[in-house]
A = this chain, B = another copy of it.
Amino acid sequence: MILGTRSLRSAAFLCLLALVAAAAHAADPLPSWTDGAAKRSIVTFVDRVTTDGSVDFVPAPERIAVFDNDGTLWAEQPLYFQFLFAVDRVKALAPQHPEWKQKEPFRSLLAGDLKGALSGGEEAIFELVMATHSGMTTADFEQIVKDWLATAKHPKTGRPFTEMVYQPMLELLAHLRANGFKTYIVSGGGIEFMRSWTEKVYGIPPEQVIGSSGKTRFELRDGKPVLMKLPELHHFDDKAGKPVAIQHHIGRRPIAAFGNSDGDLQMLQWTTAGDRARFALIVHHTDAEREWAYDRASSIGHLDEALDEAEAKGWTAVDMKRDWKIVFSR
């Protein structure tokens, strides 16, 4: 039968691919990590849960790993990149909104006074995000993000934002996937914002991206269905919101979690509270030269309580300066 022959042929081809991939992975899977406790803890954990017959063995479908994004997979200084996107969008949309000239936080932002715009605190940020992340279809928004990423540059390094991703973490994602893990993003960032580029940059497909979200509404426009993005918060995926979203989207507890700030603490607690082998890792930004150094005193990527808990509970704390041979992807 035609179907049978075709299936056999593609199965044989997949076999070849799998064997080549397996052989390639005999090499060091984490070449950008220095040989130390952090790297060792990762390799040991993956080995424990994938060794058939080991007491710590975890069947492949349960090998769920969750990653924060900002400050864990890509940089987040001097401001969350999605906020820089919102700023650029306010400027682009200003001609259609003459009322913004009189209205904070838009007025300050358009006058080039970012600090003034942010002085309104969370409410101001919320307003800027909603004004730039709603009022269009999900498909249109995806295109707007893609267009922005194609030209926008990081204010300090001048590099495209999608190149400001951490090479050691890309290797870690690949190592986990090569060992049967399903890798998820669980981020305070916008779910639709991230999905437009995570598959290409991290190899993480849209259905494995969890984040903050606004409400959407299904509409028929000239008989064609669209999903409109509304200026209403649906879920804020930070702190206690992370385990809630993990349960809602994944429905089972991860066995490994990776974060960098107090916003990730509850996700790490939830992950490690399961029975059997669990893994938790915190990326500690200690490298002012190659990246940024910040923790307890920073409002961006504030890391205080989670750093203490990592020490108390024996979670892996990555010292970026010491543990990473290189920082950004090349």
Are A21 and B25 closer than 8 Å at their CB atoms? Answer: no
| Residue interface mask A206-233, B partner, CB < 8 A = 1 | 1101000100111010001101000000
> Is A115 an interface residue, CB under 8 A from the partner?
no
Contacts known (A207-B249, A251-B206); A218 close to B266, Cβ less than 8 A: yes
Q: Which of B14, B15, B240 interacts with A217 by CB under 8 Å? A: B240
Give the distance to chain B from A236, nearest Cβ to Cβ, in Å. 13
Smallest CB-CB A-B distances: 8 pairs: A4-B26, A206-B251, A15-B15, A7-B22, A218-B240, A11-B22, A11-B18, A207-B250
What residues make up the interface of A, taking CB atoms closer than 8 Å to B?
1, 3-8, 10-12, 14-15, 18-19, 21-23, 25-26, 47, 51, 61, 64, 138, 178, 182, 191-192, 195, 199, 205-207, 209, 213, 216-218, 220, 224-225, 227, 234, 240-241, 243-244, 247-252, 266, 269-270, 273
Chain B residues with CB under 8 Å of A205's CB are: 61, 251
Give the distance to chain B from A245, nearest Cβ to Cβ, in Å. 10
Q: Which residue of B lies closest to A224 (CB)?
A: B273
Chain B residues with CB under 8 Å of A191's CB are: 248, 251
Complex formed: what's the CA distance from A239 to B240 in Å?
Answer: 30
Q: Which of B8, B47, B206 interacts with A22 by CB under 8 Å? A: B8
Q: How many copies does the complex hold?
A: 2
Q: Which of B5, B23, B270 interacts with A4 by CB under 8 Å? A: B23
18 extra interchain contacts, Cβ-Cβ under 8 A, other than A15-B19, A218-B241, A218-B270?
A3-B25, A4-B22, A6-B51, A7-B26, A7-B178, A8-B22, A8-B23, A11-B18, A12-B15, A12-B19, A15-B18, A61-B205, A64-B207, A138-B247, A207-B251, A216-B247, A218-B244, A225-B243
Contacts known (A218-B270, A266-B218); A248 close to B213, Cβ less than 8 A: yes
Chain B residues with CB under 8 Å of A213's CB are: 248
Q: Which residue of B lies closest to A179 (CB)?
A: B7
Complex formed: what's the CA distance from A64 to B206 in Å?
Answer: 12
Give the distance to chain B from A163, nearest Cβ to Cβ, in Å. 23
Are B18 and A4 closer than 8 Å at their CB atoms? Answer: no
